[in-house]
Amino acid sequence: MVCVKNEDHPASLELRKIYRVIPDVRAAEHRLVRVIDESGEDYLYPTSYFVPIELPQAVEEVFALAS
């Protein structure tokens, strides 16, 4: 997902940066998304802070290797 808003969390989220999402059904029920933020840990943020994107397969493979 791409961060499009960081009003309450400017130190934790960079605008226009791609963040890795960890699926969390319970969080989604509350309009939250779990992402790995700038601290390197996963935290819940409002879904309105992000826009989902689809990456080309080659990019997904590079990201998978970095995990």
DSSP designation for 40: S
- In 10 A of CB 16, how many CB atoms? 8
Here the tokens at position 1 are 């997902």
User: For position 48, what pLDDT does the model report?
Assistant: 97
* pLDDT digits (tens), the chain, 67 positions: 999 999 999 999 999 999 999 999 999 999 999 999 999 999 999 999 999 998 888 887 887 777 6
How far apart are alpha carbons 45 and 14 in whole angstroms?
13
Residue among 2, 1, 9 nearest 38 (CA): 9
Map out the domains of the chain with their CATH numbers: 2-66 (2.30.30)
